[in-house]
Structure formats: C-alpha cells, structure tokens
C-alpha cells in the first residue's frame, strides 16, 4: 500500500515589528485553509512564524524581550490556529519563540512543534545550532543575537511516528550541519521539517553573499539524499524590518531533487504529494546504515604520535 502524504510548505512574507499576534495568526489560518482546499494533510509553517525575527535587533529590556515569546502553546492568540486545524483536519509544524518555566527557572528557546490533525501535540523541538553571537555588533547593518535571546535546545533531535511515516524536526541553522539529518535518520526519520529566517547578506562574511541561496539548497538537498529523507524547508522571506531574507522555500525528495519551490518573497503555498516510500532505494540500499556505514575514530594528523608522514 503506497504511503502518500500531501504536504503544504507555507512560506511567510515579512512580519512587521508592529504586527499583532492575531494578525500573524490570521495569515497562518488563511494558508491552512488554502492547504486543506488543495487536499493537504500537513502544513509546514516557518521559524518564528508568529512574529518578526527579533534576534535581528538589540533588545536590552527584559520585559520587551519576553513580549516576543509565547508562554503557553496553544495560548490566547494561537488557540484559533489549533481549532482551525481540527476543524479542517490538517496537522502542522509551527516555529515560535518559547518562554518556559522549568523548576521555577525561566528558559527561552527557539522552538517548533508538530501537531496532529486532531490537535494532539505530537512533539516539540528546541533549536540546537544557534548562529551569530550574544554581543551587539556596531558595524553590522543588522544583528543575529540568538545566542543572547535563546538557550541551546535541550530536547535533542527526535523523530515521531506521524502522518503515516516517521517525522523529525529542526530549525534554520540546524539544516547546515550534517549531523542534524544523520541523527534524525539514525532515529528513523523519513521526513524532516524545518523553518528558517535567512538573510541574503552575512555581515561578517560578505564575500559569500552571492552563495546564500546555493548554500541553503545545497545543505537541504545533500541532507535529504545522504540520509534518504524528504526535507521540507520553509522561509520567512522578503524584507522584514530592513533585513532582506531569502525565499527558496522547497520540498526535496530523498533523491535530493527539488520537487517544489517557491517563486516569490511573500506568503506563498507550495504543495506536493510525497510518496514516503521513495526513501526506500536510499535507506535500504545506497545508504543502508547497518550494511555500509562504518565509524572509525580518526586522530587529527597533527596529534598522531609516532606517525610517519605520507610518502611525498
Ligand atoms: N539564520 C541563518 C541561517 O542559518 C545564517 C543564519 C545565515 C548562517 C547565512 C549562515 C549563513 O540560515 C538563522 N536564524 O539560523
């Protein structure tokens, strides 16, 4: 019995700093309705899908910073999204800034959740690879202060049986690190969902600006192919509070091929009917981990003791 899953990747255009949560959520609800009308069973929203990407600017007032975070999920502004998902019968991935109180300690994370079509919370992920830094960069046109505003995720990379397959999650910069896909694939993931806020200018590496789109797609396509997974990457695109961000929302097959891609920098839905069994030629043959994957512990050449240098 083939395992088809129709997925909608819901690219977000810019969200202004002054945009209210309810306005942002109403855009997501619109996309959810459009996705269901296209027959989709799962819709993937982006990273920090409820607000502007506030790590792009300096905030030194605690209360002002915490206003960007959700204390409960669903909360007063997001319950309507959960209710609409149940009414329509569609599951979703949602990225947002999470303020958690654990053992009476406040924790802040860059988080995503996976929610079933009946509204049940399937799983949560907290971003592990936080790019940028914790200090203000006076010469940069914009900041990336994720290390200041978020803690490193403490949930690891997990995969869950859902939507007829095995689904894993990550967020933005995670997609650039091969271990993200490998750990998820070792845990059985067949489908990896992620959202991202990716500027098209890297202030301290402008010499590779022209490669932003290429590196973004290269990371996801190689992750998909080398681990036999479907990968869905969803942008917060366009010029948001002065920061120009890439679009290139894409649905990528286990072959590494891009099967659907956005073509704007606005709210845009791309849809694809994914055959989850397309993972098999890769997971069962080319990248059969049990049969072919071997790990050896290599000492860096400089620290090898007594090693004779290779013949010239
Ligand atoms: N943003 C960017 C990303 O990893 C970045 C940061 C941009 C890193 C370009 C390297 C090059 O896509 C987030 N939010 O992780």
pLDDT in tens, 17-36: 999 999 999 999 999 999 99
How much is the pLDDT for 295? Answer: 81
Mean pLDDT of 67-86: 98
Ligand 1 centroid – CA 47 distance (Å)? 11
What residue spans define the domains of the chain?
Answer: 4-294
The label of the residue with tokens 């994957």 reads: 293
Cα distance between residue 240 and residue 37, in whole Å: 29
Identify the CA nearest to 10 among candidates 38, 40, 46: 46
Cα distance between residue 202 and residue 131, in whole Å: 11
C-alpha 85, offset from chain centre: 20
The label of the residue with tokens 């790990």 reads: 295
Residue nearest to atom 4 of ligand 1 (CA): 173
Q: Annotated catalytic, 127?
A: yes
How much is the pLDDT for 107? Answer: 98
Ligand 1 centroid – CA 174 distance (Å)? 9
**Tokens standing for residue 58:** 């300096």
pTM of the model: 0.95
CATH superfamily, domain at 4-294 = Carbon-nitrogen hydrolase (3.60.110.10)
How much is the pLDDT for 80? Answer: 98
193: region left, alpha or beta (phi > 0 left; psi from -120 to 50 alpha): beta
């Amino acid at each position: 019995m083939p395992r088809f899953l129709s997925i909608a990747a819901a690219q977000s255009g810019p969200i202004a700093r002054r945009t209210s949560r309810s306005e942002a959520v109403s855009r997501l609800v619109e996309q959810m309705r459009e996705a269901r009308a296209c027959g989709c069973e799962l819709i993937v929203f982006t990273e920090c899908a409820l607000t502007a990407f506030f790590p792009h600017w300096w905030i030194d007032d605690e209360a002002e910073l915490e206003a960007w975070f959700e204390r409960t999920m669903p909360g007063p502004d997001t319950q309507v999204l959960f209710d609409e998902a149940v009414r329509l019968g569609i599951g979703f991935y949602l990225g947002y800034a999470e303020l958690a109180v654990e053992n009476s300690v406040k924790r802040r994370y860059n988080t995503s959740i996976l929610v079933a079509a009946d509204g049940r919370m399937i799983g949560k992920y907290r971003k592990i690879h936080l790019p940028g830094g914790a200090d203000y960069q006076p010469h940069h046109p914009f900041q990336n202060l994720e290390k200041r505003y978020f803690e490193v995720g403490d949930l690891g990379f997990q995969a869950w049986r859902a939507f007829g397959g095995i689904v894993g999650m990550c967020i933005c910069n995670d997609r650039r690190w091969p271990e993200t896909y490998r750990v998820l694939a070792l845990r059985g993931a067949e489908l990896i969902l992620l959202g991202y806020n990716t500027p098209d200018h890297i202030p301290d590496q402008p010499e590779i600006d022209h490669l932003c789109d290429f590196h973004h797609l290269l990371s996801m396509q190689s992750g998909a192919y080398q681990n036999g997974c479907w990968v869905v990457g969803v942008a917060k695109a366009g010029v948001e509070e002065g920061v120009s961000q890439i679009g290139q929302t894409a649905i990528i097959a286990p072959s590494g091929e891009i099967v659907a891609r956005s073509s704007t920098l606005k709210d845009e839905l791309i849809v694809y009917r994914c055959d989850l069994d397309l993972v098999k030629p890769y997971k069962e043959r080319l990248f059969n981990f049990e049969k072919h994957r071997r790990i050896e512990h290599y000492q860096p050449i400089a620290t090898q003791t007594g090693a004779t240098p290779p013949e010239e």
